[in-house]
Amino acid sequence: MDNRMRGIPGTPSAPVANDAEQGVEGWAVNRQSLVGHAREIQVTGAAEVCCPADRASVRFTVGSSKASVSEVTGSVSRRVEYILQAASCVTSPDVLWPCVASHVTWELTLRQHGVREEDVMVRKFLHRDEDVYHMTSEVTVTFSDFDEMEQVCIILLEKLDKTVSVGTPRFFHSAECLNRIRQSVCVSAVDNAQQKASRISQLLGQSLGAPTLIRETDTREWRGKDEDGARWGADTPHAAAALLPPIPTITTSSLVSVYFRLQEGSRKKV
């Protein structure tokens, strides 16, 4: 959208002035007609913000088969509790067993390490096949600290047997992150529009007044493409690269239209 001046009703239209050297095009402005009259200038501002994912969820699966319900339940429950404590005591594997043996609940400990109770989901399924009871449990933990997530996965792979499997992290953007991005890009677009209007008003010997209208005319969002091929060399096996999924990004753009009031100001002497 072109930058343009809007006059009060009944005022004759002003001629269009082009000034390529100043990088300003399409202004309908007559400097002398500005004197003594209220004027507004309309400018557009654009901004673009790119942000990586701020959350990652990992699914831990526990399975066991026993001759009785109490045995299979106890076996799975112990491993599930170990997983929950591992997500809490991530400082060192040496302190993990004291954490498991302590009487502090894992919900409290998770909160102390930035993992909220609502970020942990546990599901269990029990069925019988002839005289054997099978139980499967899934523990899904959502992390905001990717370093802690990595330490938890290393601890569980190192300490637990093959009855526990660690899934591939799934990265995503939280609702809070998306809201921050959308607000930030709109504010940046308005700021860019204000800077543009300020330079124009200085060029015209005017003083930039308060905005009279701000409208967001367009906003878009798109997610980054999978860059596995770009991040890994041709000699890297694809299976190995698949174990390290890239952290996705989301880009948000905003276009705003802002009207500012112009006030007569002192011109600079050349």
DSSP string, 234-268: TTS-HHHHHTSPPPPEEEEEEEEEEEEEEEE-PPP
* Sign (positive or negative) of CA dihedral 62, 169, 53, 225: negative
- Find, among 36, 35, 29, the residue nearest to 3 by Cα: 29
Q: Using one digit for the tens of pLDDT, what is the confidence trace for 157-205?
A: 887 778 788 889 999 999 999 999 999 999 999 999 999 999 999 998 8
More confident residue, 72 or 50: 50
Distance (Å, rounded) from C-alpha 201 to C-alpha 37? 15
The percentage of the chain sitting over the pLDDT mark of 90, rounded to a whole number, equals 31
Distance (Å, rounded) from C-alpha 92 to C-alpha 112? 16
Which residue bears the tokens 């698949």? 242
DSSP labels, 117-133 = GGGEEEEEEEEEETTEE
Mean pLDDT over residues 101-117, rounded?
A: 51
Amino acid at 175: A
Distance (Å, rounded) from C-alpha 137 to C-alpha 71? 14
What is the CB neighbour count within 10 angstroms for residue 261?
Answer: 16
The tokens describing 188, both together, are: 């940046």
- The whole-model pTM stands at 0.65
216: three-class secondary structure by DSSP: strand
Residue 207 has pLDDT above 60, yes or no: yes
Residue 134 has pLDDT above 50, yes or no: yes
Query: Which runs of E-coded beta strand occur in 79-224?
Result: 120-129, 132-143, 164-166, 170-172, 206-223
More confident residue, 153 or 20: 153
Q: Using one digit for the tens of pLDDT, what is the confidence trace for 53-108?
A: 999 999 998 888 888 888 888 888 888 887 777 766 654 444 444 444 443 344 44
